[in-house]
């Protein structure tokens, strides 16, 4: 009933809008209701000033309901012109179902690297169907005051990393690492996929795994579990029942020294913590090794294939490829980094720190997200459990590699 009313209202407003003036109104579907003011106050006015004749409306829904609401709107033909894209399979299914238009030819696409585009492409990369917006970068956020107090240098290599953890533990006043295993995903996302790219050499390893040339039992895929196994002793007491919000609070209250992080934490941490924070990237094996960072593609914008305003929508999408959009977006949401090749100046020092790694290191995305989590058992979900088991020490790293490989081989042809 509500949905019917809503679509009627939407329909009514589009008719009224088009009747009032000969201008086009674009409607954007999104799950980012947190960003409503950012769109209304900054992004849309900037676009409308540059493109008279096109009006834009941002109409987000709740994140948890987004996929379901969007699918029913698309099926009913009442969805907006522009559609915010989840990465990988959820959007690929929309493209395969004919709901998203192929955007490969748009010139705005040229401003993005292949890695940035990979989350919204067909498996053979022949068609791109969403314009990348932002990524999140993994690393470690640390309490600068604790580091100064204990005389710890920012660690570069794995040996230095564990030496720093040892120093903090020996001092005894702070929890070395603020992470728990209760919610499971942090162990995989902020643990395994944070430190892992340095072992499997980023894209090289990730693509080889998808192609079936490498296996999860290979040393480079097992080694991150061996490193995680050493984290257990540096986590707080009772970390087995520590949840994600617990970890955030422990760190922002100043009770922990290092927080394995994703850059999306920046806004929240800036508001909560009253000490100075710094960030360092996942440690490499030996000083001077090439570093790899998880620069995970998270959000993009695509075009409804049934949109009557295709030309205006394409204008908007091309504008999203400009440095103007990248600058507005990245500064309003520190921690969500523009995926474009433009050099975006950011004011937040912590965000600057994170994004500076792009210049020093090779970017990659989380290893389990593309293709490999399509079947059952689902590799991403299995990785959660495996990372937790590694940290708790309930299974050895090589057993975990074996289990994950068996699961993957059971349904994924290149690994059979």
How many CB atoms lie under 10 A from the CB of residue 406? 13
Q: Which of 252, 236, 170 is nearest to 391 (CA)?
A: 236
262 has which bridge partners?
138
| CA-to-CA dists, residue 3 to 10, 11, 127, 192, 306, angstroms | 10, 12, 33, 41, 20
Alpha-carbon distance of 139 to 162, in angstroms, equals 15
Establish if 164 lies at the interface with another protein (CB under 8 A): no
Establish if 238 lies at the interface with another protein (CB under 8 A): yes
The residue from 51, 104, 167, 378 that contacts another protein (CB under 8 A) is 378
The residue from 22, 170, 241, 413 that contacts another protein (CB under 8 A) is 241
| Total residues at interface with another protein (CB under 8 A) | 38
- Site mask for another protein (CB under 8 A), range 331-370, x = bound: -------------------------------------xx-
The residue to which tokens 């960003």 are assigned = 35
The residue from 128, 135, 143, 181 that contacts another protein (CB under 8 A) is 181
The residue from 108, 155, 236, 283 that contacts another protein (CB under 8 A) is 236
Is the Cβ of residue 247 or residue 340 nearer to another protein in the bound state? Answer: 247
The residue from 128, 143, 407, 415 that contacts another protein (CB under 8 A) is 407
Please enumerate in sequence order all residues whose Cβ is within 8 A of that of 306, keeping only pairs 6 or more positions apart, or say none. 74, 77, 79, 99
Establish if 216 lies at the interface with another protein (CB under 8 A): no
Alpha-carbon distance of 388 to 96, in angstroms, equals 35
Q: Is 40 helix (H, G, I), strand (E, B) or coil?
A: helix
DSSP letters for 170-210 = HH-SSEEE---SSSSHHIIIIIIHHHTHHHHTHHHHHHHHH
Closest distance of CB 381 from another protein, Å:
6
Please enumerate in sequence order all residues whose Cβ is within 8 A of that of 214, keeping only pairs 6 or more positions apart, or say none. 200, 205, 208, 220, 221
Closest distance of CB 192 from another protein, Å:
14
Closest distance of CB 50 from another protein, Å:
37
Establish if 384 lies at the interface with another protein (CB under 8 A): yes
Closest distance of CB 378 from another protein, Å:
4
29 has which bridge partners?
59, 83
Alpha-carbon distance of 291 to 358, in angstroms, equals 10
3-state SS of the chain: helix, strand, coil percent to 5? Answer: 50, 15, 30
The residue from 104, 122, 167, 381 that contacts another protein (CB under 8 A) is 381
Establish if 184 lies at the interface with another protein (CB under 8 A): yes
Is the Cβ of residue 78 or residue 383 nearer to another protein in the bound state? Answer: 383
Of residues 61-90, those binding another protein (CB under 8 A): 88-90
Establish if 192 lies at the interface with another protein (CB under 8 A): no
Establish if 221 lies at the interface with another protein (CB under 8 A): no
Residue 403 contacts residue 386 (beta carbons within 8 Å): yes
Establish if 123 lies at the interface with another protein (CB under 8 A): no
Alpha-carbon distance of 40 to 117, in angstroms, equals 26
How many CB atoms lie under 10 A from the CB of residue 24? 20
How many CB atoms lie under 10 A from the CB of residue 293? 22
Is the Cβ of residue 111 or residue 143 nearer to another protein in the bound state? Answer: 143
Establish if 182 lies at the interface with another protein (CB under 8 A): yes
Is the Cβ of residue 99 or residue 314 nearer to another protein in the bound state? Answer: 99
Is the Cβ of residue 358 or residue 374 nearer to another protein in the bound state? Answer: 374
Residue 389 contacts residue 189 (beta carbons within 8 Å): no
Establish if 237 lies at the interface with another protein (CB under 8 A): yes
Establish if 246 lies at the interface with another protein (CB under 8 A): yes
Classify residue 2 by burial, with Cβ atoms within 10 Å: 0-12, 13-18, 19+: exposed
Is the Cβ of residue 229 or residue 313 nearer to another protein in the bound state? Answer: 229
Radius of gyration of the chain (CA): 22
**Region of 130-138, 240-248, 303-311, 343-351 interacting with another protein (CB under 8 A):** 240-248
Is the Cβ of residue 257 or residue 326 nearer to another protein in the bound state? Answer: 257
The residue from 388, 390, 400, 404 that contacts another protein (CB under 8 A) is 388
Establish if 48 lies at the interface with another protein (CB under 8 A): no
Alpha-carbon distance of 94 to 99, in angstroms, equals 5
Positions touching another protein (CB under 8 A) are: 88-90, 93, 96-97, 180-185, 236-243, 246, 250, 368-369, 373, 376-378, 380-381, 384-385, 388-389, 392, 394, 407, 410
């Amino acid at each position: 009933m509500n949905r019917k009313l809503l679509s009627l209202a939407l329909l009514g407003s589009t008719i009224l809008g088009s009747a009032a003036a000969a201008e086009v109104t674009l409607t954007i579907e999104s799950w980012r209701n947190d960003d409503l003011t950012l769109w209304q106050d900054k992004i849309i006015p900037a676009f409308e000033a540059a493109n008279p004749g096109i009006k834009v409306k941002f109409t987000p829904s709740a994140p948890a309901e987004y996929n379901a609401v969007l699918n029913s709107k698309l099926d009913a033909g009442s969805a907006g012109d522009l559609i915010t894209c989840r990465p990988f399979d959820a959007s690929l299914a929309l493209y395969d179902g004919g709901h998203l238009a192929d955007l490969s030819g748009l010139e705005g696409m040229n401003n993005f690297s292949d890695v940035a585009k990979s989350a919204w492409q067909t498996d053979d990369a022949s068609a791109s169907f969403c314009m990348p917006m932002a990524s999140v970068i993994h690393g470690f956020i640390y309490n600068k005051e604790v580091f100064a107090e204990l005389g710890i240098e920012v660690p570069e290599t794995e040996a230095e990393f564990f030496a720093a953890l040892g120093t903090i533990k020996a001092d005894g006043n702070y929890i070395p690492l603020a992470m728990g295993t209760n919610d499971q995903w942090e162990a995989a996302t902020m643990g395994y996929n944070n430190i892992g790219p340095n072992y499997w050499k980023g894209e090289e390893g990730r693509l080889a795994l998808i192609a079936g040339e490498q296996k999860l039992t290979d040393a480079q895929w097992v080694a991150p579990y061996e490193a995680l196994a050493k984290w257990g002793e540096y986590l707080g007491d009772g970390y087995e029942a520590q949840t994600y919000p617990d970890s955030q609070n422990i760190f922002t209250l100043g009770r922990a020294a290092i927080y394995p992080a994703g850059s999306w934490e920046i806004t929240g941490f800036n508001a909560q913590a009253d000490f100075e924070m710094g960030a360092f990237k996942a440690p490499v094996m030996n000083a001077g090794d090439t570093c790899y960072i998880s620069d995970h593609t998270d959000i993009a914008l695509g075009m409804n294939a049934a949109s009557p305003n295709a030309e205006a929508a394409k204008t908007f999408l091309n504008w999203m490829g400009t440095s103007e959009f990248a600058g507005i977006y990245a500064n309003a949401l520190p921690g969500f980094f523009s995926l474009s090749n433009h050099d975006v100046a950011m004011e937040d020092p912590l965000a600057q720190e994170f994004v500076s790694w792009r210049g020093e290191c090779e970017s990659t995305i989380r290893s389990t997200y593309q293709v490999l989590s399509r079947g059952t058992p689902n590799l991403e979900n299995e990785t959660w459990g495996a990372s937790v088991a590694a940290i708790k020490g309930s299974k050895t790293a090589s057993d975990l590699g074996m289990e994950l490989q068996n699961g993957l081989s059971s349904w994924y042809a290149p690994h059979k």
